[in-house]
Structures are given as structure tokens and as C-alpha cells.
Amino acid sequence: MEGISLAPQVLFYIKSFPVTNSFFWAVFLSLFLIIMHLIIRIRLKEIPGRLQNAFEVLIDGSYSLVKSVMENDKKAKKALPLIFTLFIFIMMANLATFIPGQSAISIKTPNGNVPLFRAIMADYSLIFIMTMISVITTQIVAIFVYGPFGYIFKFINIKELKNFFLELLKGRLKLGLLGQGFLDLFLGLMDIVGEIAKIISLSFRLFGNIFAGEVLGAVFLFLAPFIAPLPMQFLGLLTAIVQAFVFSILTLIFIKMAGDIGPEEVNS
């Protein structure tokens, strides 16, 4: 058994750019999915064929799900492409690991023997990028909804403190407002932590699941190559789809939450 590494291994270099096995397959999968989508797009018919039918079921189901979360037709249409892209990309990447015989092939590189295939989602850099896209999209939606200043003051909440000092200038000492002000400030700052935690929780959930699945599969294959890995494979199949679903649906919920205006904000 080759050493298990958290990082994808470098296959070859294009000039100084290291092409890792995960990255290579990510590009390959992207191209494959683009071509598939274009084929479906070009062959769109009023009476759907088999491929189009399957795709329609998928996209229609996603659309109704996104709509039920966003509670708005227009918003759902805006959110759907990103959510669906994430979903189908992660799902196909995960399912691609089930193509048999992958782990058997490795190529010789200056860094030693490197497996040609590696689960695309077992590459933290890609997951990190996707997570960043998800979280930054969330922030952009929040800025659009609250406005730039509203967005900043959502995290640095000094409204009540300001009220306290205004009251103090008028000669009234309201300790309740002071307490409320500090609490709001603290909660606002905690929100920043929450946003950062999102990045970590979202990315490591997916990465951990897929990477663990890979490692587990490899270990089982090493210990008991026949039949024993099968249950793990079935679980892996479940994980592959569930994790894709979880990642995209969490992104959707973040976007939805960012776009929601709480009752206090509506009043002010």
C-alpha cells in the first residue's frame, strides 16, 4: 500500500505549475460535465428523450427544493445555478471514484510512484475554493440586502451603545442600555467567528467524509480485498450523494439566511 497522503500528489509540471492528480481529474470532470450539459442543451426537445428526462427530473426536483427554501420564484432562479452546479459537480466527482480499477494505476514521477487517480473531493484546495465561493456569495447577498454599512454594523453592533451615550449626554444614566449594548457588540463579534466557522465546517465536512471513505476503502482493500469492502462501498455511495446534497443545501441555506431580514431590521 502506498502511503496515504492528505494532499494530492503532483503528476507532472506545466512549466512551474504543479498538476496534481486531483486537479487533473477536476479539470477532466469539468470538461466532461460541460460537454454533457451542452449536449443536453442542444438536444432539448419538447418531448424529452431518456437523457433529457433524467436531467429534467434532477433539475426540476432541485428547482422545487430551492424554491421551497427561498420562498420566492425569482430568488430561486438566481440561486439555483450555483446550488445545482455545486451539487452535480460534487456528486459526479464522488461517483467517479467508483469507476473500478482506479487505484491500481500509478505512474512514475520524479517524486516516486504516484497514483494516477485520486478522488477529486479528496483535494482540500478544491473544496476550500468551493467553500470560499459559497461563503463569499453569502456575504455578497448579505451586502446586497443590508447595504454596505448595514452589513458592517451587523457585525460591529454599536447601536445600543450609541443610544446609551446619547442618553448619557442628556444626563440620564441607563445601565440597561449599556448592558444591551455590550451584549449586542459581543454577539455581533461572535457572528464573525460564525462566518469563519462556516468555512471550516463546510469544507472539512466534505473533505473528511470523502477522504475518510478513500482511506477506509484502501485499508479494506489491503486487509480483505474480496467482498469485505463491498459494504463500505455501498456506504461510500450513500456518502457520495449525501455529501454533495449537504454541501449544496447548506450553501443554499446560508444564502437564504443572509438574504433574510430579521424582525428588528424590518422595524428600523
Partner 1 sequence: MELINVLGLDIKILIAQFVNFAIFFFVLYKFAYKPILKFLDDRKDKIENGIINAEKAEQKLLEIEDNEKKIIENAKIEAKNISKDIIDKATIFAEDKKVKMIEKAKQEIKTLIDQEKGSIEIQKAQTIKEIKREIADIVIASLEKIIDKKLNKEELTKTIKEISKE
Return residues touching partner 1 (CB under 8 A): 5-8, 16-18, 20, 23, 26-27, 30, 33-34, 37-38, 40-41, 44, 46, 55-56, 59-60, 63, 77, 80-82, 84-85, 89, 123-126, 128-130, 132-133
Q: How far is the CB of 134 from partner 1 (least distance, A)?
A: 11
- Shortest CA distance to 210 belongs to which of 25, 19, 41, 40? 25
Choice between 92 and 161, CB closer to partner 1: 92
Q: How far is the CB of 130 from partner 1 (least distance, A)?
A: 6
Choice between 30 and 106, CB closer to partner 1: 30
Q: CB of 117 within 8 A of CB of 102?
A: yes
> Up-side HSE of residue 25: CA atoms within 13 Å toward CB?
24
Burial environment of residue 89 by CB neighbours within 10 A (0 to 12, 13 to 18, 19 or more) = buried
Choice between 56 and 167, CB closer to partner 1: 56
Choice between 38 and 197, CB closer to partner 1: 38
Q: CB of 159 within 8 A of CB of 184?
A: yes
The counts of H helices and E strands in the chain are: 9, 4
Q: How far is the CB of 237 from partner 1 (least distance, A)?
A: 24
Q: How far is the CB of 42 from partner 1 (least distance, A)?
A: 10
Choice between 76 and 177, CB closer to partner 1: 76
C-alpha cell recorded at residue 109: 514521477
Q: How far is the CB of 145 from partner 1 (least distance, A)?
A: 21
In Å, how far are 78, 142, 195, 217 from 136, measured between CA atoms?
A: 16, 10, 10, 34
